[in-house]
Amino acid sequence: MSSRPLPSLLSLRAFEAAARRLSFSLAADELCVTQSAVSHHIRKLEQDLGAPLFERRVREVALTPRGQDYYRGVAAAFALLQESTARARVEAASEPVTLSLLPAFAAHWLAPMLGAFSQAHPDIALRLQADTALADVANGAADLAIRYGRGGWTGLSVQLLMSEQLAPVCSPSLRASLPAHPQASDLLKLPLLASTWPSFEWEAWARRHGANLQTARPQAFSDYNIALEAAQSNQGVLLGRRHLLARHLSCGALVMAMDSPWLETDDIGWWLVSSKQPSRPSVPALRDWLREAAASWMNSTHP
Read off the pLDDT of residues 231-285 as tens digits, 9 standing for 90 and up: 999 999 999 999 999 999 999 999 999 999 999 888 899 999 999 887 888 999 9
Q: Which regions of the chain carry the CATH code 3.40.190.290?
A: 96-303
Give per-residue burial for 272-297: e unless 16+ CB within 10 Å, then b.
Answer: bbbbeeebeebbebbbebbeebbeeb
Q: Which CATH number applies to 96-303: 3.30.70.100, 3.40.190.290, 1.10.645.10, 1.10.10.60? A: 3.40.190.290
9-93: CATH class: mainly alpha
Say what the pTM is.
0.71
Percent of the chain beyond pLDDT 90?
83
Mean pLDDT of 151-168: 94
Is the pLDDT higher at 92 or at 190? 190
- Is it the case that residue 92 has pLDDT exceeding 70? no
Q: Which regions of the chain carry the CATH code 1.10.10.10?
A: 9-93
- Is it the case that residue 215 has pLDDT exceeding 60? yes
Q: Do strands 237-241 and 191-194 pair parallel, antiparallel, or not at all (unpaired)?
A: parallel
pLDDT tens for residues 176-210? 999 999 999 999 999 999 999 999 999 999 999 99
What is the pLDDT, as a whole number, of residue 277? Answer: 87
- Given pLDDT bands bounded at 50, 70 and 90, which one contains residue 2? low
Q: Is the Cα torsion angle 131, 262, 111, 231 positive or negative in sign?
A: positive
What is the pLDDT, as a whole number, of residue 3? Answer: 66
Mean pLDDT of 147-160: 93
